[in-house]
A and B are shown apart, each in its own frame.
Chain A
């Protein structure tokens, strides 16, 4: 692998194969924690099929939008983004199936519904991993950089895409939250923690989530750190970016918990509590996505 990462003349097919390899590696890297979680195997057969269908369908536009951002190749057109999304989803399915077979979790004696169910849940996170793997494991020294729209150099292109960029930020936060949530939501610990916490714990958890999210992006100088403007007061950025980000993380948490049937038959206060618990990692995922992607 190392020899391939080095700069080289772009020969079409070889470059594409390297991309596939990175995607597969990303699917493994990001998918393995879920592939080795018992609750997800079980969800494969007891999850309500209409919700599973929704999850599998929602993943398609999500992958296309994400592909447009990070891409297997540097994509600019919708068709290219669709192609890359399809490749990532395909890789996710293949890698999930292979690993589940390797782990002895899929056997030929099982009903088709169980096999497909198990693979399709895993394929969602693995396909996001495949796209991210392509982007994060890739060589950024090549010309063109990594499409970082923050580096638009103040030309009119930046101005044109202004509101688009804002939606983009929120979208990235949703993807980051979704990714961490998919890993954590199926475990029983999330509901157990929400039962152990009192309302006071929950209040502190909200404040802590927002504070960590804000600090992650603005205080800690990671790669791609967002800069606060010197002119505007600090709370402007909190209201414009961090709070909407937290609401996005909250909404994604709620959606994922509902998908996995963790909210069924519960009172509103219990639903909110579980969502707050899951939003804690979700908020960190959202903040990380803003920095990394």
Chain B
């Protein structure tokens, strides 16, 4: 059923052209950005780095907060992070936490809860495993 005067038939208002041009520019620049990413993507595996941001005793244990950053352009899934209290190089207590995803070039935050205060013993937190999404 062609309607006698659809909105497309009318003389275009200049606002319509302005909106259209800005939109075209936005879409094209987005395509350009992604195209650049596609071309420069080196297919590097996920590169995970962990930084402890805070550690403090809590009721019934000890809390260590950390950031896990992925510097690569590939996302890691099911990332297992293991926290250990070290006693002269040997783990005294071990706790695991799993991140569903650590997205490419992004950062996630996690917490490990130990049952004891490590005191002046060392703490080691490292990623032990991940899968491809």
Partner of B13, one of A163, A228, A232, A247: A163
**Are A191 and B101 touching (Cβ within 8 A)?**
yes
Partner of B4, one of A153, A163, A226: A153
The answer for the CA separation of A154 and B26 in the assembled complex, in Å, is: 34
The answer for the CA separation of A242 and B28 in the assembled complex, in Å, is: 14
**Are A243 and B27 touching (Cβ within 8 A)?**
yes
**Are B103 and A154 touching (Cβ within 8 A)?**
no
**Are B12 and A236 touching (Cβ within 8 A)?**
yes
Tell me, yes or no, whether B109 is within 8 Å of chain A by CB: yes
The answer for the CA separation of A158 and B75 in the assembled complex, in Å, is: 52
**Are A199 and B37 touching (Cβ within 8 A)?**
yes
**Are A166 and B13 touching (Cβ within 8 A)?**
yes
Tell me, yes or no, whether A265 is within 8 Å of chain B by CB: yes
**Are A203 and B34 touching (Cβ within 8 A)?**
yes
Tell me, yes or no, whether A162 is within 8 Å of chain B by CB: yes
Tell me, yes or no, whether A43 is within 8 Å of chain B by CB: no
Nearest A-chain residue to B6, judged by Cβ: A227
Partner of B105, one of A148, A163, A166, A270: A270
Tell me, yes or no, whether A219 is within 8 Å of chain B by CB: no
Instruction: Name the distance in Å between B85's Cβ and chain A's nearest Cβ.
Output: 27
**Are B38 and A239 touching (Cβ within 8 A)?**
no
**Are B27 and A206 touching (Cβ within 8 A)?**
yes
Given pairs A151-B4, A200-B38, 17 additional interface contacts (CB within 8 A): A153-B5, A163-B13, A166-B19, A203-B34, A203-B38, A225-B2, A226-B8, A227-B3, A227-B6, A227-B8, A236-B12, A240-B17, A240-B20, A247-B22, A265-B106, A265-B108, A269-B34
Q: List 17 A-B contacts (CB under 8 A).
A: A154-B5, A162-B10, A166-B15, A169-B7, A191-B103, A195-B75, A198-B41, A199-B41, A226-B7, A239-B24, A240-B8, A240-B17, A240-B19, A240-B20, A243-B23, A250-B26, A265-B109
Interface residues of A (CB under 8 A from B): 148, 150-154, 158-159, 162-163, 165-166, 169-170, 188, 191-192, 195-196, 198-200, 202-203, 206, 210, 223, 225-229, 232, 236-237, 239-241, 243-244, 246-247, 250, 265-267, 269-270, 272, 276
